[in-house]
Structure 1
Amino acid sequence: MTAPPRPEPALAPAPAGPLAKPRLVGLFVAAILLTLVVAAVHLTQGTSAVGALDLLRLATGGDDEAARVLIASRLPRLLAGLTIGVALGFAGAAFQSVARNPLASPDTLAVNAGAHLAIVAVAAFGIALPALPAGALAFGGGIAAAALVLAMSAGGQTGTTRLVLAGSATAMALSSVTTLLLLLFEQATIGLFAWGNGSLVQSDLVAVRELAPVIGLAVVALMLLGHRLDILGLGDDTATVLGLDVRRTRVLVTLLAVLLSAAAVTLTGPVAFVGLCAPVIVRLLGRVVPGVHRHRILLPLSGITGVLIVLGSDILLRAVMGGQAGVDIPTGVVTTLFGAAVLIWLARRHRDAGPTRRPPGGHAAVRSSTFHRSVVAVAALLTVGAVLVGMLAGDTWVLLGDIVNWLNGNTGPAYTFVLDQRWPRVAAALLSGAALAVAGTTVQAVCRNPLAEPGILGITAGAGLGAVSLLTFVPLAGVWAVSGVAGLGALLAFALVYGLAWRGGLSSDRLVLIGFGAWQGGLALITFLIVSYDPWNTGKALTWLSGSTYGRTATQVLPVAIALLVLTPAVVAARRELDLLALDDDTPRVLGVRLERTRLLALGAAALLTSTAVSAVGVIGFVGLVAPHLARALVGGRHARVLPVAALLGALLVSVADTLGRTVIAPAQIPAGLVIAMIGTPYFVWLLWRSRATERSR
């Protein structure tokens, strides 16, 4: 959690000039009055017929029904919203100040994901804990996740892109384990899918009463540390000269922020992006009201803004969708959509030239042609072996002779059924892995970012949103319709991200950050569709979102095969252009390459490859990141060599993950996407750590 002595602060230090006291007092009064109005409106909403007039009559001894509704349902929900709004607002402001980064928050630092995993892990084994012990477990999970992310991103100060990538990778890994527990222990964790997206539903005031004092003490402690945070904002060297113990202050503030985040997750589940948006909104007021950047003003205003975001989102949800939606649909879905929009807006204003922005093949070794051919041959043999093992292994093991007899049509009904069901799964894993790897190689070359992949750019979420939307509203839709809508969703997501990232040129950092926002927004919309229209089938939804070959048919595999046959040769034909794009913007122009046209065509091909893969196996991440990196490490940076090796490695990776998922705990199954996430995350972490070490040695 320590930072290098020469960071580039992304946040301006608190101004040292005189405070505009009348304006500040007016701002606080206006914020409090607005909060009271929002809270009053919030109390009038619900599933019962009790309205504002019924609640007003309670002051004169109104009916018992209104009192019961108020005490049993509406007041606990309101107090939960107030509590977590304050906690997340304070936590987000503290994280951003410690990291001196406007995108630091409980979400981007994976604190919420770590706390969520800790709580689900206990619930999966049938252990019901009171609020305080559960909060202690959540705190442990959150602090471990935050420590890892801050270590990989050098305290968050070496670049916003690195912070978001480190946090998203860690959160994806933790979420994969959480999803695995939800799938394996579906009965014990029933209802936790919606709660895992942030739900304000409360059955009583017990949890609020237990956690509110903890949150109150942490809030008071952060207020007492406000002056130290002002000094810390001047920079580590200046703060040290002024007598501040920088390390101790940073550690203490981080612990308090994680404690607040963990308490909020324990109470309502992870309500996303409140901790990101609230401090950003308050800081924007600095132009109108000087002095809000000082932490003893910034922190309470962030807490109040957090309350307004949480309660406002809940009010909007129930006003648009009806009172029952407040029970069925997590409030965190609305805050995620709002937060994704704020993140995209911040990314459009951001300029980052951190160590992640370099040609993806810049450190690859130069290999001979003989070595390249040897690598291709070995990779092909390993892939064939993985396919063969995939056909043999599963809940029912077969022999090689059984496969030969099956191919000749000589097997009995039992083995015929098993192998007829198995081969489309093996083919789906093989082809989807290759498609994702080719797409990832293309994206990394065009973005000149070795940490980019289709998932991080929102393409995967767009394809998943399209497919889930069609399956939700047209459950009998055919395979070609699902593939077509998934492709349309991927192209729309790609067009949105690319268009927003274009600002007098394409910045790779801006593209990744906007893609991350689109990814989070897409996942929130998918969750909304699932809990709104198919809430009793979360197992199917989780399997889709985790990436699984379960139940695949030959017809569902065909679009991936066609996409590979059509688009891979086109990408290979553009290998020279990809080599040039991976260098810089000027070299391709000098050599006559139509830069924007080539980028659009290359990323369009990547989007279509990704969409067909998603339509076949669901949402699988990290393949488009890991396979190109391994390929470049083996055969160098030329795309004529990288593309075939990456395709083989991607096919190998997904095939092995699928086989492991089908056999390790058979007859139960682990979705291939979860296996890949748990394999790919350590590699991703290593890449970040290596580039961090390289940067610090400069």
Structure 2
Amino acid sequence: MTRRVAAFALAGLALALVAGVLDVAQGQGDVPLGDVWSALFARGESLNDALVRDIRLPRVAAGIVAGFALAGAAVILQAITRNPLAEPATLGLTAGGALAVTLVAAYASLAPGAPTIAVAFVGVAAGTALIGAMAAAGGGGVRLILAGMAVGLALAAGTAAVRLTRETETSGLFLWGAGSLLQNGWGPLTAGVLIGAPALLATLLLTRSLDVAVLGEQTARALGQRAGLVQLASVALAAVLTAVAVGLVGPIAFVGILAGGLARAARPRGHRQALLVALPWGAAILLAADVAGRLITGLDTETPAGVVCALIGAPVLVVVAKRLRGEVGQSLDTRAGGARWRPKAALAAALLLPVAVIGSLCLGEIRIGPGEVLGSILGRGSPLGEIALESRAPRLAVALLGGACLAASGTVLQAAVRNPFAGPELAGVVGGASVGAFLVLLAFPDAPTLVLPFASFAGALVAMGAVLALAGGGSPTRLALVGLAVTAACSAVTMLMLLNAQPAAATAITWLIGSTYATSWADFRLLAVPAALLLPLVFLAVRRLDVLMLDDDLSRSLGLRTSRTRALLLAAGAALGAAAVAVCGAIAFVGLLAPHAARLLAGGNHRRSLPMAMTLGALLLGLADAVGRTVLAPTEIPSGLVVSLIGAPYLAVLLWRSRTA
């Protein structure tokens, strides 16, 4: 071990020790330092002794165990994907574990400790299989991270939906879901150590194989390594370590990226030395985040370490993005972009839209015949037809226009960064809108109704402005990474506000999922104004979108001012997405999936794919509104949840189909 590696490892140990001592010394309950010392080294039976031994010490131990687990998993994932940004959170693995635990807790009793870790492992393994198929086939780089974040977004939407529909059963998971080190005794930790320690030991024994694996599969085979077996063992160990961390402290992001980056900065000779540096730094980062959370909001307020880690990790991701060199030369959606124009399929999709509109107006708690609906539209309506127009038509109109705007936004953003996994959800638009909306919902609950969409729109524009400013008009890769960083920071701020406003949490979570419930013609008019201004501009820029899909050097040679055009189109796309989110809530997947499906039907020519994407987006959100309104009537299912249930399987298919693109 070199002196530099030893210095980094010792620095991590020292910081972990200091943070651990501070974490034990502070916390809920006014325990004097003398009593803390006595509780650690004497066997007293006072209330303060019990508080220190059974609450504060397990909390610190959980930070150490989870920090080790997240850092170890990150070292493995970064080695097998050869990607310094790979970690359990950025690949969607922690979100899978969180969804599995939430589902089981919602519909069955779930004991802490080994049962929770086992359930989390099932969810982590499902996410690992999905992302692993893409990574094994060579889908790496930022594309892999965007795919992982998209998977995480889908799973997180499912988790939020379960919590909303089973609020009483999942109330105990609120802090855990934000990444809290709070523990109830030593039982869960004992299980975590018994499962995590052998996994870490096995990881240490596997490091020599990882040294060979990073050379590439063909080279590894030439050197006599059974590459497939090593990859399988590595993925299994990463999944076990991630499950241990999720089972103990919930989903926490960026610990692996930070610990892995510090390990690489130590210039280790092989993955064994990298692991010896990353492990103490993982524990140090998590414990320091827990201490910082207490300092931010006070010792008597629980601020999860996961929120602080996101606030710390987002700027680090921006720094990584700004240090990137070079461009992503080709479109990353070659299969869909090279699809041929299919006029019959496009015509069928266009004809399906009016059929879906009439059907949506007919369906509901009170069924109405198509003839009555058409008669009311033509001015010869019956009382039942008037019901359809007065109560169902406004929300359907908002859903159709909102879906079209989200699809247009996703089309522009995907073309600008040349990545099919880009969209309003991962470009900071939805995150910024959520922050703006939460400020109104939680801080100013008595504000007029019209304040909410304006605050949401302003938040989205500020977030997208931050993305453009921080990226500095750079490459699509840099824009994508900065968008992920801003999205993560906005999510952390949103969670921080949500934790401090429990009475209004249900309303805020409903908005976060996205819903067209109770929207009116006033909301439609509010959305129609920016749509009328921005959609024509986007249509006028379809040729520029086609050119942006090419290599940047080729775009410049064709006379396009690439950086300026990309920035302007990103701003227009962000504004469209912001307008839709401001009225409909944080609906995910429409802007991600509709453009891709449109390219499959209409090819890569934006003159055809843009209107097709808008048609499919309107159809998707319109159908989601109808399904959410009728399936469990009179109970309302948020349309954002319905879209997520449709979008998650489609995203899985997209990842599988694109693994060789």
- Output the TM-score relative to the length of structure 1: 0.87
Task: Tell me the alpha carbon deviations over residues 328-381 of structure 1, each in whole angstroms, 9 at most, x when there is no partner.
Answer: x322111122222223322333456486546797413246xxx4xx77764443
Q: In the alignment, does 2:474 pair up with 1:506?
A: yes
Distance 1:377 1:294, change over 3 A: closer
> Match for residue 70 of structure 1?
52
Distance 1:147 1:634, change over 3 A: closer
Deviation at 1:314, TM superposition (A): 0.8
Q: Is the 8 Å Cα contact of residues 330 and 550 (structure 2) preserved in structure 1?
A: no
> Match for residue 180 of structure 1?
161
> Match for residue 528 of structure 1?
496
How far apart are the structure 1 equivalents of 2:508 and 2:493?
Answer: 13
Query: Could you tell me which amino acid in structure 2 is paired with residue 159 of structure 1?
Result: G
Q: Secondary structure of 1:191's partner?
A: helix
Gaps of 5+ in 2: none
> Match for residue 346 of structure 1?
320
How far apart are the structure 2 equivalents of 1:99 and 1:175?
Answer: 23
> Match for residue 79 of structure 1?
61
How far apart are the structure 1 equivalents of 2:195 and 2:260?
Answer: 21
> Match for residue 517 of structure 1?
485
How far apart are the structure 2 equivalents of 1:243 and 1:360?
Answer: 35
Distance 1:476 1:254, change over 3 A: same
Task: Tell me the alpha carbon deviations over residues 170-217 of structure 1, each in whole angstroms, 9 at most, x when there is no partner.
Answer: 222322332232222221111323321211111211111222121111
Distance 1:191 1:649, change over 3 A: same
Task: Tell me the alpha carbon deviations over residues 196-239 of structure 1, each in whole angstroms, 9 at most, x when there is no partner.
Answer: 12111112111112221211111111112222222323333343
How far apart are the structure 1 equivalents of 2:548 and 2:6?
Answer: 54
> Match for residue 148 of structure 1?
130
Deviation at 1:445, TM superposition (A): 2.6
> Match for residue 657 of structure 2?
690
Deviation at 1:261, TM superposition (A): 0.8
Q: Is the 8 Å Cα contact of residues 360 and 449 (structure 1) preserved in structure 2?
A: no
Identify the match of residue 559 of structure 1 among 513, 526, 539. 526
Q: Please give the residue correspondences for 1:440-455 in structure 2 after superposition, counting only pairs within 5 Å.
A: 440-455=410-425
Q: In the alignment, does 2:456 pair up with 1:481?
A: no
Identify the match of residue 368 of structure 2 among 375, 398, 423. 398
Distance 1:394 1:542, change over 3 A: farther
Q: Please give the residue correspondences for 1:497-646 in structure 2 after superposition, counting only pairs within 5 Å.
A: 497-502=467-472, 506-532=474-500, 534-586=501-553, 589-590=556-557, 592-646=559-613
Identify the match of residue 428 of structure 2 among 427, 434, 458. 458
> Match for residue 296 of structure 2?
320
How far apart are the structure 2 equivalents of 1:486 and 1:296?
Answer: 47
Deviation at 1:570, TM superposition (A): 1.8
Q: In the alignment, does 2:85 pair up with 1:103?
A: yes
Q: In the alignment, does 2:356 pair up with 1:386?
A: yes
How far apart are the structure 2 equivalents of 1:323 and 1:81?
Answer: 17
- Residues 493-502 or 653-662, more deviating: 493-502
Q: Secondary structure of 2:516's partner?
A: coil
Q: In the alignment, does 2:58 pair up with 1:91?
A: no
How far apart are the structure 1 equivalents of 2:603 and 2:282?
Answer: 49
Query: Could you tell me which amino acid in structure 1 is paired with residue 451 of structure 2?
Result: A
Q: In the alignment, does 2:286 pair up with 1:310?
A: yes
Query: Could you tell me which amino acid in structure 1 is paired with residue 290 of structure 2?
Result: D
Q: RMSD over aligned Cα, in angstroms? A: 2.7
> Match for residue 225 of structure 1?
206
Q: Is the 8 Å Cα contact of residues 133 and 659 (structure 2) preserved in structure 1?
A: no
Distance 1:26 1:579, change over 3 A: closer
How far apart are the structure 1 equivalents of 2:258 and 2:529?
Answer: 43
Distance 1:501 1:159, change over 3 A: farther
Q: Secondary structure of 2:637's partner?
A: coil
Q: Secondary structure of 2:171's partner?
A: coil
Q: Is the 8 Å Cα contact of residues 459 and 494 (structure 1) preserved in structure 2?
A: yes
Q: Is the 8 Å Cα contact of residues 355 and 691 (structure 1) preserved in structure 2?
A: no
How far apart are the structure 2 equivalents of 1:322 and 1:425?
Answer: 43
Q: Secondary structure of 1:186's partner?
A: coil
Task: Tell me the alpha carbon deviations over residues 453-504 of structure 1, each in whole angstroms, 9 at most, x when there is no partner.
Answer: 22221222112222222222222333443333222222222222223333xx
How far apart are the structure 2 equivalents of 1:689 and 1:126?
Answer: 32
How far apart are the structure 2 equivalents of 1:281 and 1:100?
Answer: 16
> Match for residue 5 of structure 1?
none
- Residues 306-315 or 250-259, more deviating: 250-259
- May I ask how many residue pairs the two structures share in their alignment? 658
Q: Is the 8 Å Cα contact of residues 131 and 266 (structure 1) preserved in structure 2?
A: yes
How far apart are the structure 1 equivalents of 2:76 and 2:321?
Answer: 20
Q: Please give the residue correspondences for 1:19-418 in structure 2 after superposition, counting only pairs within 5 Å.
A: 19-20=1-2, 22-58=3-39, 64-154=46-136, 157-286=138-267, 292-326=268-302, 329-350=303-324, 351=326, 353=328, 357=332, 362-366=337-341, 371=343, 378-400=348-370, 403=373
Task: Tell me the alpha carbon deviations over residues 429-457 of structure 1, each in whole angstroms, 9 at most, x when there is no partner.
Answer: 11100111111222223223333222221
Q: Is the 8 Å Cα contact of residues 111 and 141 (structure 1) preserved in structure 2?
A: yes
Distance 1:642 1:299, change over 3 A: same
Query: Could you tell me which amino acid in structure 2 is paired with residue 514 of structure 1?
Result: V
Q: Is the 8 Å Cα contact of residues 81 and 140 (structure 2) preserved in structure 1?
A: no
Gaps of 5+ in 1: 1-18, 287-291
Distance 1:611 1:585, change over 3 A: same
Deviation at 1:293, TM superposition (A): 4.4
Deviation at 1:42, TM superposition (A): 0.7
Task: Tell me the alpha carbon deviations over residues 52-78 of structure 1, each in whole angstroms, 9 at most, x when there is no partner.
Answer: 343235557889232122023211211
Task: Tell me the alpha carbon deviations over residues 622-676 of structure 1, each in whole angstroms, 9 at most, x when there is no partner.
Answer: 2123222333333343333333222222111110112112222333333222222
Query: Could you tell me which amino acid in structure 2 is paired with residue 346 of structure 1?
Result: V
How far apart are the structure 2 equivalents of 1:67 and 1:352?
Answer: 58
Query: Could you tell me which amino acid in structure 2 is paired with residue 348 of structure 1?
Result: K
> Match for residue 673 of structure 1?
640
How far apart are the structure 2 equivalents of 1:120 and 1:111?
Answer: 14
Deviation at 1:258, TM superposition (A): 0.9
> Match for residue 465 of structure 2?
495
Distance 1:194 1:636, change over 3 A: same
Q: Is the 8 Å Cα contact of residues 272 and 336 (structure 1) preserved in structure 2?
A: yes
Deviation at 1:322, TM superposition (A): 0.5
Query: Could you tell me which amino acid in structure 1 is paired with residue 313 of structure 2?
Result: G
Q: Is the 8 Å Cα contact of residues 180 and 670 (structure 1) preserved in structure 2?
A: no
How far apart are the structure 1 equivalents of 2:174 and 2:357?
Answer: 34
How far apart are the structure 2 equivalents of 1:199 and 1:44?
Answer: 18
How far apart are the structure 2 equivalents of 1:494 and 1:250?
Answer: 38
Deviation at 1:516, TM superposition (A): 1.8
Distance 1:682 1:348, change over 3 A: farther
How far apart are the structure 2 equivalents of 1:262 and 1:464?
Answer: 29
Query: Could you tell me which amino acid in structure 1 is paired with residue 598 of structure 2?
Result: A
How far apart are the structure 1 equivalents of 2:459 and 2:436?
Answer: 5
Q: Is the 8 Å Cα contact of residues 563 and 609 (structure 1) preserved in structure 2?
A: yes
| Same amino acid, percent of matched pairs | 39
Deviation at 1:259, TM superposition (A): 0.6
Q: Is the 8 Å Cα contact of residues 465 and 526 (structure 1) preserved in structure 2?
A: yes
- Residues 315-324 or 234-243, more deviating: 234-243
- Residues 425-434 or 294-303, more deviating: 294-303
How far apart are the structure 2 equivalents of 1:421 and 1:273?
Answer: 45
Q: Is the 8 Å Cα contact of residues 271 and 332 (structure 1) preserved in structure 2?
A: yes
Q: In the alignment, does 2:620 pair up with 1:653?
A: yes
Distance 1:25 1:282, change over 3 A: closer
Distance 1:97 1:352, change over 3 A: farther
Q: Is the 8 Å Cα contact of residues 9 and 281 (structure 2) preserved in structure 1?
A: no
- Residues 222-231 or 477-486, more deviating: 477-486
Query: Could you tell me which amino acid in structure 1 is paired with residue 318 of structure 2?
Result: I
Distance 1:645 1:234, change over 3 A: closer
